[in-house]
Amino acid sequence: MASIFTKIVNGEIPSYKVAENDDFFAFLDINPNAAGHTLVIPKKEENKIFDLSKEEYAGLMDFSYRVAKALEKTVACERIGMSVIGLEVPHVHVHLIPISTMADMQFMKKQQLSNEEFIDLASRIAANFI
Ligand code: 5GP
């Protein structure tokens, strides 16, 4: 069965898209640690990051780098934190999180955002993506 993230890539489930190319897709996390928390995924469904080929892994990191640069330009923060967990959704995803404190990386402090705020954030990050 297709993962929830594959359904997002296919447009079967809505998302706040930030960036996309043939192989990768970036969108806002629906339950963000901080405003701008973005997930970057390979379109190819793989459960664990280190089961990707070296080339797929390098491609994911390259795309994540570009998204992180856009994020850092868009959202006020100390830096962009990066984390890979995958215990909830078995489809490889890189968390890119604008952080100012360690608590922002702990997946406990959550930020409530309105639909309008998600739309605004996604479009501003997308505008800075090169
Ligand atoms: P992990 O698998 O790394 O533990 O966490 C999965 C992440 O995916 C969580 O931060 C969660 O908020 C996010 N997530 C789960 N389902 C959805 C969804 O349907 N849409 C979006 N945008 N994010 C999701």
pTM exceeding 0.95:
yes
| CATH topology for the 4-125 domain | HIT family, subunit A (3.30.428)
Write down the H helix ranges in 1-130. 4-9, 54-74, 115-127
DSSP track, 21-37: -SSEEEEE-SS-SSTT-
Atom nearest to 89 CA in ligand 1: 2
From atom 1 of ligand 1, which residue's Cα is the shortest distance away? 86
| pLDDT, tens digit (0-9, with 9 covering 90-100), for 82-105 | 999 999 999 999 999 999 999 999
Q: Does the active-site annotation cover 93?
A: yes
Query: Which residues of the chain fall below pLDDT 70?
Result: none
